[in-house]
Amino acid sequence: MRRLIIGGMVAACLSASASIAKDGIVRTGPADAAIAATVALPADAKLVYVSGTVPDAVNPQAPQGSVERFGDTEAQTRSVLAKIEALLKAQGLGLGDVVMMRVFLVAPPGQARMDFAGMMRGYRAYFGTPQQPLKTARSTMQVAGLVDPGWLVEIEATAARR
């Protein structure tokens, strides 16, 4: 009975435009979507949790606590993803191994809403590209603020590999 249920789940995943990596990780969702709808891991997958990561200063001469010091949402997203990529590399992993990501965005000064489009421009430079086609499951949310008032982006990630 259990085999039939598991087989049915795999068949359902495959019908939803799934990709199965050589390591047994199954990612489902529309091919044209920026993120995976689901990511299923084999029981023996190695998990690496990356703590909330924030951007580096792009203009260290700008005032402390200012957005000018860290750049706009796109620049901050690129900075954070580059840092996450380096952290994963130290663990023998890469961005293609990211299976879940949580993105926290602050609205830029003078705006009521987060800059989702800016975050997506930065994100699309790292995920769903010809060089790195794998997509992660992801949540993106607006928060009232982060530790440094100049930060507009903080991202935490979970990566997996067999």
Can you give the CATH number for the domain in which 122 is found? 3.30.1330.40
143 inside domain: yes
Q: Which of 26, 29, 7 is nearest to 16 (CA)?
A: 29
83 inside domain: yes
Q: Is 106 helix (H, G, I), strand (E, B) or coil?
A: coil
Domain enclosing residue 57, as ranges: 43-161
62 inside domain: yes
32 inside domain: no
Per the structure, the count of domains in the chain is 1
pLDDT digits (tens, 9 = 90+) for 31-87: 899 999 999 999 999 999 999 999 999 999 999 999 999 999 999 999 999 999 999
Q: With a cut of 90, say whether residue 22 has pLDDT above it.
A: no
Q: Which of 28, 29, 25, 13 is nearest to 96 (CA)?
A: 25
149 inside domain: yes
35 inside domain: no
What angle, 0 to 180 degrees and rounded to 10, lies between the N-to-C axes of helices 73-89 and 116-124?
40
Q: What mean pLDDT do residues 104-113 have?
A: 97
12 inside domain: no
